[in-house]
Amino acid sequence: MERWPWPSGGAWLLVAARALLQLLRADLRLGSPLLAALGLLAALDWLCQRLLPPPAALAVLAATGWITLSRLARPPRLPVATRAVLITGCDTGFGKETAKKLDAMGFMVLATVLDLNSLGALELRASCSPRLKLLQMDLTKPEDISHVLEFTKAHTTSTGLWGLVNNAGFNDIVADVELSPMAKFRNCMEVNFFGVLALTKGLLPLLRRSRGRIVTLGSPAGDMPYPCLAAYGTSKAAIVLLMDLFGSELLPWGIKVSVIQPACFKTESVINVNLWEQRKELLLANLPQELLQAYGEDYIEYSHKQFLNSLSKALPDLSPVTDAITDALLAARPRRRYYPGRGMGLMYFIHYYLPESLRRRFLQTFFIGPRVPRALQPGQPGLTLAQDATQNPNLNPGPSPVVAR
């Protein structure tokens, strides 16, 4: 087949014109996704020249370029106007930064904090407009939730409640399931599931009236078996399933439900090494002697050190998460799931498409690697070397190199 001149001028002119128009309208960002798309279009052009006659190649390239730019375009946004949003957990981290951003955009923000005199609460008072209202709420206390519900109903009569951002979360243990006390599982469920459920159900009449939005912070630990995050991960798995149920059941009411599954970011709780040290010491002090003998103190110390190592690699810029929350509140067609943070696409690809053994190895490599409990190490009473090799072929008693995510 005779080759024809590169590039396909008409198709590329159409693609360039649309890309320029979208950039001028701020519907498109000049970044790696756009550059990657243009590179793939160039490869497609090269392939079409060799396989298709000119008219067909021109049509394929033009259609592909148009569809690609449509997919890359930012979804249309709703106006902020006088929309009111309730955000939980605004003392620190994602909640505090989201409250500041939405206030600057013109939202009426109702921000809940554990302590009205905390540093985060004081920062919000100093940096935000008088529209922002601070409310004290502990999600484990029904009276606090009732107070917030009544306040919200009374202060949104003119504007309505457009959105609820379930950001508040809790975790205070890093340990295997067997080493985690039942009380820790209950504490995580009380905050991350039952508290969120009670608040969301209480606000549904307002959200149904406004045909508004529910945005909830989940965690990849609720989708994947992260080592030593059992209590936290199971509570996040429960709340994400609940939000999927809400997303289906509230669709006829016009309410859109989104879940944010962020990577590890440097929030205040993540970088507070002293707090994690105290929690580890508390775990060791209260662990039943039988379990301490079976696993060994060095096993817990090793897991703790690798956990801290992974936290040291946390992402410093919180804006991908606040941007995702904003999009979920204002996009005309918000996504059901958002995955802000570097590496999340690869992580979920591995989780959904690779064999279970590779998925487990990936989490161990990038989070907390395997270590043999004391009772299973060679030479311990009741276990011969042959039994150890047979029962634990993939385990190594020494530490393995770990790269934190």
Q: Tell me the HSE value of 221 on the side-chain side, using a 13 A CA sphere.
A: 23
Burial level of 266, CB count in 10 A (0-12/13-18/19+)? middle
Exposure string over 130-157, b if 16+ CB within 10 A, otherwise e: eebbbbbbbbeeeebbeebbebbeeebe
Catalytic residue among 226, 232, 295, 338: 232
Residues 6+ apart with CB under 8 A from 35: none
Burial level of 385, CB count in 10 A (0-12/13-18/19+)? exposed
- Can 232 be counted among the known catalytic residues? yes
Dihedral angle computed from the Cα positions of residues 47, 52, 54 and 60, in that order, rounded to the nearest 10 degrees: -70
- Asked if 89 and 269 touch (Cβ cutoff 8 Å), the reply is no
Exposure string over 274-288, b if 16+ CB within 10 A, otherwise e: eebeebbeebeeebe
Alpha helices in 142-194 (DSSP H): 142-155, 182-189
CA–CA gap between residue 364 and residue 372 (Å, rounded) = 13
Q: CA dist 20 to 7, 9, 11, 296, Å?
A: 18, 16, 14, 62
Handedness of CA 18, 23, 25, 28 (dihedral sign): positive
Q: Which two tokens stand for residue 135?
A: 């409310």
CA–CA gap between residue 87 and residue 96 (Å, rounded) = 9
Which residues are part of the catalytic machinery?
A: 232
